[in-house]
Amino acid sequence: LINRSIRYHKNFVKMSSVDSKTSSSSETLKLYNSLSRKKEEFVPMNGRSVTWYSCGPTVYDASHMGHARSYMAFDIIRRVMSDYFGYDIFYVMNVTDIDDKIINRARQNHLFEEYKSKDHSLDDVIRDCDQAIEIYKEKLAQETDKDKASLLSSTIKTAVAAVEKARDGSNTSLPDLIDAVRDPLSKLLDRKYGATVTDHHIFAALTQKWEEEYHNDMTALNVLPPNVLTRVTDYVPEIVVFVEKIISNGYAYESNGSVYFNTVKFSTSPDHRYAKLVPENVGDLAALQEGEGELSVSADKLQEKKHKNDFALWKASKPGEPAWPSPWGPGRPGWHIECSVMACDILGSTADIHTGGVDLKFPHHDNEIAQVEAYYETDNWINYFLHAGHLSIEGCKMSKSLKNFITIKEALQTNTSSQLRLAFLTHQWSATMDYSVNAMQEAVQTEKALKEFFLVVKDMVWRCPEGRKGFFKWTDSEKELNGKFLKIKSSIHTALCDSIDTPTTLRLLKELLTLSNTYIDAKRDDANARLLADIAHYMTYLLKIFGVIPHDTGIGFSMKKEAEGIEDVVMPYAIALADFREKVREVALETKAKPVLQLCDWVRDEVMFDLGVKLEDKKERTVVKLVGKEALIEEREAEKRAMEIKRKAKEEQKKKMEEAQRKLEAQARIEPRDMFKDQMDKYSKFDDQGVPTHDENGEPLSEKKIKKLYKQWEAQEKKYNSSKK
Amino acid sequence: LINRSIRYHKNFVKMSSVDSKTSSSSETLKLYNSLSRKKEEFVPMNGRSVTWYSCGPTVYDASHMGHARSYMAFDIIRRVMSDYFGYDIFYVMNVTDIDDKIINRARQNHLFEEYKSKDHSLDDVIRDCDQAIEIYKEKLAQETDKDKASLLSSTIKTAVAAVEKARDGSNTSLPDLIDAVRDPLSKLLDRKYGATVTDHHIFAALTQKWEEEYHNDMTALNVLPPNVLTRVTDYVPEIVVFVEKIISNGYAYESNGSVYFNTVKFSTSPDHRYAKLVPENVGDLAALQEGEGELSVSADKLQEKKHKNDFALWKASKPGEPAWPSPWGPGRPGWHIECSVMACDILGSTADIHTGGVDLKFPHHDNEIAQVEAYYETDNWINYFLHAGHLSIEGCKMSKSLKNFITIKEALQTNTSSQLRLAFLTHQWSATMDYSVNAMQEAVQTEKALKEFFLVVKDMVWRCPEGRKGFFKWTDSEKELNGKFLKIKSSIHTALCDSIDTPTTLRLLKELLTLSNTYIDAKRDDANARLLADIAHYMTYLLKIFGVIPHDTGIGFSMKKEAEGIEDVVMPYAIALADFREKVREVALETKAKPVLQLCDWVRDEVMFDLGVKLEDKKERTVVKLVGKEALIEEREAEKRAMEIKRKAKEEQKKKMEEAQRKLEAQARIEPRDMFKDQMDKYSKFDDQGVPTHDENGEPLSEKKIKKLYKQWEAQEKKYNSSKK
């Protein structure tokens, strides 16, 4: 209410930070649908509610980064659809705990451990090994896959070398030999004794162990658990009923205790189309047999089928294979049928979304579709099929033969789950992603820049007064930054609508970061903390949606209001200390009170460091950053390493200088008359003072050359004389 | 993988919890728009981005519950639009710190305090009081508003009584007399000396104090601060430019140093329509003059205007009124112009939403619209005008004369902000809401039921094992509960789309609560903790959106992962103790070890109580509830009060019984011959044994009657004899 002169501020209206109508108001989410092979508008069947079935792990081994690629991609899509687009997602995932791979692995592990624990003579073991290697050699001869062949041949090589050594009488221990021939031996033992393995706990122990590991990996990656998890072992009765119905609908037949899906009947039916996802792969027998499983593609098994493209719904179990009763005798479900049955049990006859890795498209997902259509006699089960792209390692396919197989646990030893997520986010979920040192370095840099910005803004927010005094009139700088902020938000919306384009979103987030940092640098202490907090909150909101920053996942009312985070408790004390220290330091600088300054350094570098607080002395004031002690230690280590490199470089330089100096000094101690004497390859005769007169061939030197040599001689004389002082 | 008998489970597919296509997939948000007076689909101008201008407080007094009604309503709408529907909201609010009410209040407060601090004789004060009361009597004579007249007359009554008392010589202190006549005296002093108040800090001190109080109230109510807050005192130059443009566009004129909006010119222009919101109120001079302000409706001021419906854009300031320079001389902005100018400065020439209390529709918002249209020569400024309904107190209008005026601070002494919110949520934002004891009791009950449910679920979640063991196969109960859960989510979506229908949403939430509790009661320890956690998370999510549960508002990465809340730190210890205690208690119950049982009670009632943890011994196990100590104390007090009531009732009952017993005993001590003697109103003669023979009129009694009396006599004899034993 104070009289002020009027700044005639003619064009203020133009400077509003809000532009009207820059983007379409009807932007909605589109998703890349494998069924149509294009981006389609996403319209769930039932309002905001979305039903989703996702193919989960087959639990017989550790999950690797290829698995991480899929689970992370779907976790990000799920979070964006739920927390950004507001869908109520009901997410069902299965665990495959009946499978030929599981049977083989469990049986072989068991027989191998049993073999190892028994007493054998060296001769017996060598004989077994030879036999086992023979089997592997046969396998190799039949193998058409290059990768698998390469792995087999390296296994054979190792095994043969170990057996040779043992035969030579080199002092190899028996357990070492057995371990070196582990895979071939296991195979041999399985052939011999596999049928004797009847204790079902042997299979259950394996699947339970690896399912537990799977959950641990997902928790470590911050992947949300499904709303419902279904296990095949819990669903055998339902599967039997489902298969019976498919038979009675005429799309499957029993043969020798197994049941097969009749692909010819199905694909010739006017209501159905077989292999909706990848019709071009029909007839790819290698893919089909991979899907049927190792134990289910023997010649006699293949003969049971009416047509070569038919696949098993129910497999008769041989001795040594777990079995459940059924109208067709004891057996177990085929691989594809489980997903059809469990999805329908929980979600009903249709679902909005089905997801899986790109390698599951054919035959797994195509057969799932056929089964459900055959069961319900419909032609519409899933509306959107989403497939996560492959993962490559430094540009190469991940494979055991290339020895670039990386488990999730191994990856998490190098990078945090936040860093992995930031790297995954820079790739479109449906595209191939390359996991490389470079990609991870970029993610680490992005994380660092974000953290730094958040720390700076938090410091500002804590220093911004509460209530009335915290609100200031906006100047053009705030209007400009806010205008750009709104535009970036709008562009990010467009990107996320575009089949959840996270690479573009992340690029825009980095742009917003740069704009904000530029604003802070320009305005310094006049920067508007509220606007920056709005920007930081928006960025935090997106990073939480992406799972990079953990969510508040509490239920209901919390115990106390203060429980909002350790920062609320700690920050006031840290700021009080920082302000006090700053005042003390100012006085100390003025009065040149060195011990006080040392104390100021000490409290910053020791006391606050131990509390995880970083104090940065800037020109305007001290910035307080709650970083955490571990991060500070890491930072200090990095600094130390950098210092060490510098120190070493300096030392090297010093050594070089000293060396040069020493050389010079040694040079100076040479008498002028001797200085050319060791150059017999150049000169053959010298005068009294030791200056050359003839070259190496006995030819006299030119006047000019002699003059030049005299000058050198005189210079050396000077050095020699002064070195003697 | 264990062989099991097959339960032929024929109809499992029907039992899926997900029904297809029950609601329309195209539901979108509709809002009740005051401009069209109906619910309209909400389509922002620019994608997801929403610009919003909200009328803020005039800061000269404490905010009351009527204000809370508006700010809470818009806060809830803003949160739902942002956090539920996903809009990026840019929310601008003004603070009116130039206003006739402010000038009057600041000047009168100042003059009154000055008067009170000076020495006066009693006679002088009485004379001033008489004069002041005369002014009030004149005011009363002219007042047409019933409420205001009633308030005036009660003020006069109090003042007159105080003056009478002082005149009588009753020992009234001078300060008490002055305080009793405060309002009339202030008015008198303002008339006499108002023009001498020139120090602008007097006005600023008042507005700054009440703006600070406003922010405190909003923080206490958990109302989010605006993204931008604009103050009129910061915008006078921009207002001058804006008014100049309106004049040059031909819609306003200068008159005697003031500038008025030409409503006739505007409403006769083919491009405009005056009073778009409430055209039927044009000509309501009382409303118009209320809008112009007390200092601006004197006869000479009204004569300056060309037409009676014209209103001030710029007011020439008289002495004692704060003034800023302008092309028309020193003055200040009119009330309506500020909002037009500040909204356009920050948001540009159009905005999606404008909000305010229902009483601001006319003339304030209608004049805002006219001003912006006159400035830009457009006919479209705001797309959606939302007005919060009135608040009544126990069914009556809130008014100072009814003495039911409740400030926000007072309301917060009785109820928490969460409870107030729950009460507000049970009313549609656009309807009148009744603030009553009943409504608040209902809200308290709702909060209690929700808290109880969350505590029970948290206990289950903490006991549910991590990883593989936490996932169980769903039975029909889970499918049924989940099916209902999905339906309720869908219905809540429909309700929120329907102009943010919070009453229906809250009713559905309570329904979900009941369903969940029924499921828990039925399943007990077999209840699926993951499904219940999903439900509790959804409820928490909505309650956070509504502001009932505080949000996680942190920025960026937190300092430590453990900082997720005190519960994560405390719960494992509490559960360990509870489990240990349970085991001890079991043994103690078996072995009847009373001292151990006492210890078990003690640790529950004393130790854990002090830690804010409630242990509830249930048949299945001990439920652990992290309630907080304050809440536990409150609960215990409530229990004590209930016990006390019970105890008193019991005591009362005991007394009654004793009384009856005593009467009986006294009765027994009467000799049979005297037992009828005091019934002289019934009988006049008695035989030797004292049994009546004639009635009160001297007539002999019938045989039958005498027989009956004899029986009574014999009974008394028995009692008498036994009482003497």
Distance to chain A for B328, nearest Cα, Å: 13
Name the β-bridge partners of A407: A64
Q: How far is A296 from chain B (nearest CA, A)?
A: 18
Check residue B568 and give its pLDDT.
58
CB B692 within 8 A of CB B709: yes
Task: Please compute the mean of the pLDDT values over residues B552-574 and round it to a whole number.
Answer: 57
Chain B segment 315-334 residues within 8 A of A by beta carbon are 322-326, 330
Specify whether the CB–CB gap between B370 and B263 falls below 8 A. Answer: yes
DSSP code, position A605: I
pLDDT value at position B171?
A: 67
At residue A1, the pLDDT reads: 29
Indicate yes or no: CB of A347 within 8 angstroms of CB of B27.
Answer: no
Q: Measure in Å the smallest separation between the Cα of B139 and chain A Cα atoms.
A: 30
Q: Per the CB < 8 Å rule, is A349 touching B20?
A: yes
Looking at residue B73, what DSSP letter applies? H
pLDDT at B6: 34
Residue by residue, DSSP assigns B600-613 as: HHHIIIIIHHHTTE
Mean pLDDT calculated for residue range B560-573: 53
User: Quick check: A82 pLDDT over 90?
Assistant: yes
Query: What are the pLDDT digits (tens) for A116-168?
Result: 999 999 999 999 999 999 999 999 999 888 888 888 999 999 999 999 998 88
Which residues does chain B have within 8 Å of residue A538's beta carbon, measured at their own beta carbons?
88
HSE-up of B5 (CA within 13 Å, CB side)? 1
CA distance B506 to chain A (A): 15
pLDDT tens by residue, B470-514: 899 999 999 999 999 999 999 999 999 999 999 999 999 999 999
- Best to test chain A binding among B444, B516, B559, B561 (most A CBs inside 10 Å): B559
* Separation in Å, CA of A158 to nearest CA in chain B: 36
Cα-based distances in Å from A37 to A32, A276, A284, A385: 7, 11, 20, 10
Q: Determine the pLDDT at residue A608.
A: 77
Q: In what order do the strands lie in the sheet with B331-333?
A: B252-255, B258-261, B311-316, B331-333
> Residue A46 and residue B326: Cβ atoms within 8 Å?
no
Please report the sign of the dihedral spanned by the C-alpha atoms of residue A329, residue A335, residue A336, residue A340: positive
Q: Is the pLDDT of residue A13 over 60?
A: no
CB contact under 8 A, B554 and A536: no
Whether A325 sits inside 8 A of B6 (CB atoms) is: yes
pLDDT digits (tens, 9 = 90+) for B686-724: 888 888 888 888 888 888 888 998 998 888 888 888 877
Report ipTM for this prediction. 0.78
Q: Is the pLDDT of residue B464 over 90?
A: no
Closest C-alpha to B337, from B238, B256, B255: B238
**Which of B12, B211, B557 shows the shortest C-beta gap to A549?**
B557
CB contact under 8 A, B18 and A212: no
pLDDT digit string (tens) for B11-41?
333 445 565 444 444 689 999 999 999 999 9
**CB distance A32 to B261 below 8 Å:** no
In Å, how far is B183's CA from the nearest CA of chain A? 25
**A contact test, residue of B26, B228, B338, B419 with most A CBs within 10 A:** B228
Among A196-200, A213-217, A421-425, whose mean pLDDT is lowest? A196-200
CB-CB neighbors (< 8 A) of B46 in chain A: 18-23, 25, 490
Confidence of residue A560 (pLDDT cuts 50, 70, 90): very low
pTM for the complete prediction?
Answer: 0.80
| Range of lowest pLDDT (A227-236, A677-686, B502-511) | A677-686
pLDDT confidence tier of residue B665, bands split at 50, 70 and 90: confident
pLDDT tens track for A250-263: 999 999 999 999 99
- The 3-state DSSP class for residue B96 equals strand
B580 pLDDT band, cuts 50/70/90, is confident
Q: Rounded to a whole number, what is the distance in Å from the CA of A310 to chain B's nearest CA?
A: 25
Q: What is the pLDDT of residues A158-199, one digit of tens each?
A: 999 999 998 888 767 888 999 999 999 999 999 999 999 989
Contact B550 A564 (CB under 8 A): yes
Distance from CA of B645 to the nearest CA of A (A): 30
The more confidently predicted of residues B238 and B301 is: B238
Using DSSP's 3-state secondary structure scheme, residue A160 falls into helix
d(CA A519, nearest CA chain B) in Å: 18
> Whole-number mean pLDDT of chain B?
88
Q: For A314-325, how does the pLDDT look when each residue is reduced to its tens digit (9 = 90+)?
A: 999 999 999 999
Contacts of B21 in chain A (CB under 8 A): 45-46
DSSP A351-364: EEEEEEEGGGIIII
Quote the CA–CA distance of B202 and B351 in Å, as a whole number: 36
Residues of chain A contacting B474 with CB distance shorter than 8 Å: 228, 346
> Using CB atoms and an 8 Å cut-off, which of residues 62-101 of chain A contact chain B?
84-86, 88, 90, 97-98
Q: Tell me which chain A residues have a C-beta less than 8 angstroms from the C-beta of B446.
A: none
Chain A residue with minimum CA distance to B231 = A473
Q: In chain B, what residues touch A229 (CB-CB under 8 Å)?
A: 471
Chain B nearest-CA distance from A612, in A, is: 8
Q: Please report residues of B whose CB lies closer than 8 A to that of A21.
A: 45-46
pLDDT reported for residue A168: 87
C-alpha to C-alpha distance for B71 and B220, rounded to whole angstroms: 12
CA dist., res. B661 & res. B667, Å (int): 10
Q: What angle do CA B581, B587, B590 make, to 5 degrees?
A: 135
Q: In which band, very low, low, confident or very high, does the pLDDT at B555 lie, cut at 50, 70 and 90?
A: low
Among all residues of chain B, which has the CA nearest to that of A46? B21
Summarised one tens digit per residue, pLDDT across range B400-435 is 767 788 999 999 999 999 999 999 999 999 999 999
Looking at beta carbons, which residues of chain A come within 8 Å of B563?
565-567
**What pLDDT is attached to residue B564?**
46
Q: At CA A432, angle to CA A426 and CA A434, rounded to 5?
A: 65
Q: Is A16 on the interface with B (CB under 8 A)?
A: yes
A347 touching B (Cβ < 8 Å): yes
Measured between beta carbons, the chain B residues lying within 8 angstroms of A473 are: 230-231, 234-235
Say yes or no to pLDDT of A8 above 60.
Answer: no
Percent of chain B whose pLDDT exceeds 70: 93
Chain A positions touching B324 (Cβ under 8 A) are 3-4, 6
pLDDT confidence tier of residue B557, bands split at 50, 70 and 90? low
For residue B51, give the nearest of A18, A48, A240 by CB distance: A18
A contacts of B454 (beta carbons < 8 Å): 555-557
What average pLDDT score do residues A353-369 get?
96
Mean local confidence (pLDDT), A616-629: 77
The amino acid present at B147, given as its one-letter code, is: D
DSSP string, A637-695: HHHHHHHHHHHHHHHHHHHHHHHHHHHHHHHHTS-GGGTTTT-TTTEEEE-TTS-EEEE
Q: pLDDT by residue (tens digit) across A514-554?
A: 999 999 999 988 899 999 999 999 999 999 999 998 776 56
Instruction: Indicate yes or no: CB of B228 within 8 angstroms of CB of A474.
Output: yes
What are the DSSP E strand ranges found in B627-721? 683-686, 692-695
Lowest mean pLDDT among A521-535, A693-707, A711-725, B640-654: A711-725
Q: Is the pLDDT of residue B672 over 70?
A: yes
% of chain A at pLDDT higher than 90 = 61
> Is the pLDDT assigned to residue B661 strictly greater than 60?
yes
CB contact residues (below 8 A), chain B span 444-503, against chain A: 450-451, 453-455, 457-458, 461, 466-468, 471, 473-474, 479, 482, 486, 489-490, 493-494
For residue A183, give the amino acid letter: D
Q: What is the mean pLDDT of residues B443-472?
A: 87
B349–A540 CB contact, under 8 Å? no
Which residues in chain B have Cβ-Cβ distances shorter than 8 Å to A563? 565-567
* pLDDT tens, residue by residue, B187-235: 999 999 999 998 889 999 999 999 999 999 999 999 999 999 999 999 9
Q: Which residue of B has its CA nearest to A537?
A: B555
Instruction: Name the range with the highest mean pLDDT among A78-87, A553-562, A571-580.
Output: A78-87
Rg (CA), chain A: 37
**CA-CA distance, B619 to B623, in Å (whole number)?**
10
CB B293 within 8 A of CB B101: yes
Q: Do A1 and B204 touch (CB under 8 A)?
A: yes
Taking CB atoms and an 8 Å cutoff, what residues of chain A touch B5?
325
- Mean pLDDT throughout B576-598? 77
Q: What mean pLDDT is reported for chain A?
A: 88
pLDDT-derived band at A340, boundaries 50, 70, 90: very high
| Residue among A2, A4, A46 minimizing CB distance to B21 | A46
CA distance A555 to chain B (A): 6
Q: What is the pLDDT of residue A51?
A: 97
Question: What does the pLDDT average to over A662-675?
Answer: 84
A-interface mutation test, from B18, B88, B233, B472, most A Cβ less than 10 A away: B18
pLDDT at position B215: 96
Average pLDDT over residues A508-514: 97
pLDDT in tens, B73-131: 999 999 999 999 999 999 999 999 999 999 999 999 999 999 999 989 999 999 999 99
A578 or A280, greater pLDDT: A280
For residue B200, list chain A residues with Cβ-Cβ distance below 8 A: 1-3
Contacts of A292 (CB under 8 A, 6+ apart): A100, A301, A311, A312, A334, A335
Kindly list the residues from chain A whose CB atom is less than 8 angstroms away from the CB atom of residue B238: 9, 12
pLDDT over 80 at B579, yes or no? no
Whether the CB-CB separation of A550 and B568 falls below 8 Å is answered with: no
Q: Can you give the pLDDT at residue A505?
A: 98
3-state secondary structure of A577: helix
The pLDDT of residue B456:
84
Side-chain half-sphere exposure of A544, counting CA atoms within 13 A = 20
List of residues 6+ apart from B258 with CB closer than 8 A: B301, B304, B312, B314, B315, B316, B328, B331
Contact A623, A456 (CB under 8 A): yes
